[in-house]
Amino acid sequence: MMLNDRIQNVNALQYVLRKAEEYLTTLAPETPYSKFEHRFQEIGLERGWGDNAERVLGMIQLLLDLLEAPDPCTLETFLGKIPMVFNVVIMSPHGYFAQDNVLGYSDTGGQVVYMLDQVRALESEMLNRIKHQGLDITPRILIGIVRKWISRFEVWPYLETYTEDVAHELSKELQGKPDLIIGNYSDGDIVASLFEN
C-alpha cells in the first residue's frame, strides 16, 4: 500500500515525491485520485495517500518534510493519517449483548450501552478515514455471541481459557493478528492483555 516496487530507495522516494508534489499543484484540489491514479502507479505511488489532489498533496508534503527535517510533531501527524488499522477486536467477555432490548437483564446497563455506542462510533471513524485515504476497503465487524450467559462474577476463572479460544478463532477468521485490541472493563482489559502477549 502507498508504494510499489518502482521505488527502491529513499533517494528515489524523495525524487518521486517532489515530482508528484509538482504535478499535484497543477490540479484542482478536489480532483479525485482516480483521475491521476495511473500516472502515480507509473512513478511508484499506490492508493492510500488520499482521495483527492488536496489530501494527497498534504500527505506528500508531510512525508517530504519528514525526510528532509524530521521532527516529532510532523511524524505524529503523518502516522495519524496513514492507513494502518483495519482489523479491530474489542474484548468484552461479560454482559448480555444483543442488538435490542438488553436493558434490564443481568450485567447490562451502562457498560453494554456504552460499548455498543463506541463500536458504532469507531466503525464510522474507520470508514471515514479509509475513504479519505482513497482506499476501497470495507472493514469487517466481527461479533461473536455466546448463547449461554455467564455472570461477570463467574467468568474470571475462565479468562485465560477464553483468551486462548478467542485467539485461535480470531487468527483463523482474520488470517493473522488484529491491528488493534481494545479491552472493555477489567475482564476485557485482562483478556486484551493476555491476547497481545
- Here the CATH number for the domain that contains residue 52 is 1.20.120.1230
Residue that is last in its domain, among 60, 81, 102: 81
How many other β-carbons are positioned within 10 Å of the β-carbon of residue 126?
19
**What is the DSSP track for 29-93?**
TT-BGGGTHHHHHHHTB-S-S-SBHHHHHHHHHHHHHHHHS--HHHHHHHHHHS-----EEEE--
Residue 130 falls inside a structural domain: yes
Per residue in 10-40, pLDDT (tens digit) is 999 999 999 999 999 999 999 999 999 999 9
Residue 55, pLDDT score: 97
Q: How far is CA 7 from the centre of its chain?
A: 25
pLDDT higher than threshold 80 for residue 144: no
74 and 133 together in one domain: no
145 and 92 together in one domain: yes
Domain count, the chain: 2
114 and 175 together in one domain: yes
Residue 191 falls inside a structural domain: yes
Residue that is last in its domain, among 63, 81, 99: 81
Residue 55 falls inside a structural domain: yes
71 and 135 together in one domain: no
pLDDT higher than threshold 70 for residue 99: no
111 and 130 together in one domain: yes
Residue that is last in its domain, among 81, 107, 140: 81
Structural domain including 148 reads 88-196
Residue 3 falls inside a structural domain: no
102 and 171 together in one domain: yes
Measure Cα distances from 84 to 99, 139, 196 in Å. 29, 12, 17
180 and 152 together in one domain: yes
pLDDT higher than threshold 70 for residue 141: no
> Burial level of 104, CB count in 10 A (0-12/13-18/19+)?
exposed
- Average pLDDT value for the chain: 87
pLDDT higher than threshold 80 for residue 109: no
34 and 93 together in one domain: no
127 and 77 together in one domain: no
Q: What is the pTM of this model?
A: 0.74
Residue 103, pLDDT score: 56
**Could you give the count of Cα atoms lying within 13 Å of 183 in the half-sphere of its Cβ?**
14
129 and 60 together in one domain: no
C-alpha distance across the termini of the chain, in Å:
27
63 and 30 together in one domain: yes
143 and 176 together in one domain: yes
All three cell numbers of 24, joined, read 499535484
Residue 104 falls inside a structural domain: yes
